[in-house]
Structure 1
């Protein structure tokens, strides 16, 4: 993502107001308003994270009499495209949700726009609460590469992708719910034959590229992921995994499993089409889970992508503290509250994946299944991050090139060559 990514919700409602807000002053100048914590995040209020952060705001204000949280909801794309400009000014918020990975949080840390949280992570025990796989995206070296170096962000939830399927539609059309990859493709073929486009898709944002990356992951292993994401070797976009992914994805469009018209569809629209029962299958992230629990009026279930040990996922998006934040100590306190058992347990019961919850406190059956599947992935080291992470600007390349692949304006070989060129241009020289 998501994560877009996810991302991960990535399709949050953008409220009115400009990114350029009333200045709170530079933290070193003492010009900030110590009675206000300025907070930006892009989780919709009905998502698990949105509900948890709203409760955290109440908790924060109760523990800090006289201090108010000025929360401003931003869209994922809005923050993604404008963060470097805003954070390099006195208009930076005190704390902000930001996408994790080399091309996003890594770039901001490399540019000196984020506060080093290493001492706070140790002092407050955040480092002890996060597993190694989740912790990877918290730390960045001097080149902005994740996995080592200093702490620049704190994820307080985790995320992964899965196949969501509408059990009622499968029943209506007499199609077997899939347990294997062959059954998944057979189900898609059966829906297409009945005039139903099986896969909800958003070609204008992250969903299409994540379908394609998952297909590649089904033919890959951990060393492949480490080469691509962490530069531990050379990435070849014409290898067996990438070639299979591009050819299969293009074939699915031709067969009607994915609508060519979805090139201009945004992630939000794809999710809503699934909620409305228009598409039987959606492959996307756990960031949708809580929303689907509250809004989907039909019987549904999920499964990990069949036939693959790897799937997209990681620690969740990061709480980051801008270098120019005016109230850093208050920001650290807010992060601490979101890591508390109370907020973590709430997150879990609302359909999120907490990083530090009391397992016995998660009572919702669907939430338990969500966390069980995540634990299955964690045990097999199955989190493979996201396709747009490796190099700066790669998200936009993946969107535009995958759109061309969907419309047939680019063949798989040309598509992969375009990705190779953009990746090689942005990746560190080996």
Structure 2
């Protein structure tokens, strides 16, 4: 998805006795930023496509002069850009912004047209590169990387925003920049947990499955999720992440030659996901529930667990009440398993037709380095600001889900456990394959092996069309 669907931030206990997973208590403040910086999307190597604007290295890092209007094309439901724009204008009154928003689906379908048009924006929400680099539609950010000394950022933060000359993500030139970095995990309704006899968060897959059965036996819906728009992929990938070498999945998502989703880990994950549906752990109408409904259902007390991202931390705290929910990471097979979690930057790109590339890059650098901007990113999205780990941490209230998520993000970083979202593997795989075929998987109309075969076939077809 951009995972636009999956990385979409929303506006943003007396401690519950089960509290935060005990393995996350040792975190330090510096680790929070360093770990959160491990998330990102991809970009492309010098000469990997038609020459785009600003590849010579002759860029300006000076504040914009004169009257400037920066046009941002953003995703509906991503409010942070407006808050950041307002603060930037306070600090630089000569710069104003025009924001245009559209749905994830429309953005995905119309991005090439938007980028190639004569009125292309200066900054656009772009989660999946697709053929935009090859087609010369983006500004190469390498000169800005050098000029702003972004080498101070942890390499992993920008790794996914790179792409080489063969179209493989993970290295090469930089084409995208993240505004806030996410981590996905599991929300738990503390009141329902107490009701079914759960006293602490599960630390292994066996404990998690035992808790699911406890909830089912007590008449409580174990998992609140939905597959109408594919959000259930959070749960599927969280399972796949635990059953094998994450690098194989990363290679597949980054489009390395010969990579496949047809692995033992993916088969175990898909089989478990289907089994959970058969056992009644998911809503009976799972294929009729979309992302918004899933969150609404969970925050109204319908479901013990919900697989979701840190961007909903403030929403859950507000709806259920402080201390009424818990955020923890997907447990591994063993108690000492290293954490693996989906996480990525909310990535934006500067179109090659931007009329104000230097000013836009200045704005992006400001977001990563300015104290007020970094605070806005955390306050509005619940996501870590990323950037140089030596930058001061934004203030986050203790006891909140946002604080829990940031601390746990650091733990994933310590374990080098961040991976991208499956739905970002190709431009069309989310809507064209994952979403419809997971619906069939959960209704037992497609076997796990057939699901993976169909996913790989679509993946290869989509890549061949680049």
Q: CA deviation at 1:87?
A: 1.4
Q: Secondary structure at the match of 2:326?
A: strand
**5+ residue gaps in structure 1?**
13-26
Q: What are the within-5 Å matches in structure 2 for residues 23-422 of structure 1?
A: 35-42=68-75, 44=77, 50-51=79-80, 53-99=81-127, 104-128=128-152, 130-180=153-203, 181-232=205-256, 234-297=258-321, 299-307=324-332, 309-339=338-368, 340-349=370-379, 351-356=382-387, 358-359=391-392, 361-365=394-398, 366=400, 367-396=402-431, 397-422=433-458
Question: Normalization by structure 1: what TM-score?
Answer: 0.85
Counterpart Cα distance in 1 of 2:438 and 2:282: 12
In structure 2, the CA distance between the partners of 1:224 and 1:96, relative to structure 1 (3 Å rule), is same
Q: Which has the higher helix share?
A: 1
Q: CA deviation at 1:329?
A: 2.8
Q: CA deviation at 1:342?
A: 2.1
What is the match of residue 7 of structure 2?
7
Post-superposition Cα deviations, 1:183-209, rounded to whole Å, max 9, x if no partner, equal: 221121122223332211120223212
Question: Normalization by structure 2: what TM-score?
Answer: 0.78
Q: Secondary structure at the match of 1:107?
A: coil
Post-superposition Cα deviations, 1:80-108, rounded to whole Å, max 9, x if no partner, equal: 22211221212322112221xxxx12532
Contact 2:250 2:420 (C-alpha < 8 Å) held by counterparts: no
Counterpart Cα distance in 2 of 1:152 and 1:241: 31
**5+ residue gaps in structure 2?**
13-52, 55-65
Q: CA deviation at 1:43?
A: 6.2
Q: CA deviation at 1:69?
A: 1.0
Q: Secondary structure at the match of 1:84?
A: helix
Contact 2:159 2:171 (C-alpha < 8 Å) held by counterparts: yes
Post-superposition Cα deviations, 1:210-243, rounded to whole Å, max 9, x if no partner, equal: 2112211111124323432234563444432111
Post-superposition Cα deviations, 1:308-331, rounded to whole Å, max 9, x if no partner, equal: 535343441212111222322332
In structure 2, the CA distance between the partners of 1:173 and 1:80, relative to structure 1 (3 Å rule), is same
Provide the alpha-carbon RMSD of the alignment.
2.8
Q: CA deviation at 1:64?
A: 3.5
Counterpart Cα distance in 2 of 1:239 and 1:147: 21
Post-superposition Cα deviations, 1:335-392, rounded to whole Å, max 9, x if no partner, equal: 1221123211333355221213745542412333322211111121101211122233
Contact 1:90 1:324 (C-alpha < 8 Å) held by counterparts: yes
How many matched pairs? 401
In structure 2, the CA distance between the partners of 1:146 and 1:232, relative to structure 1 (3 Å rule), is closer
Q: Secondary structure at the match of 1:71?
A: strand
Post-superposition Cα deviations, 1:40-62, rounded to whole Å, max 9, x if no partner, equal: 223636xxxx34x3332123223
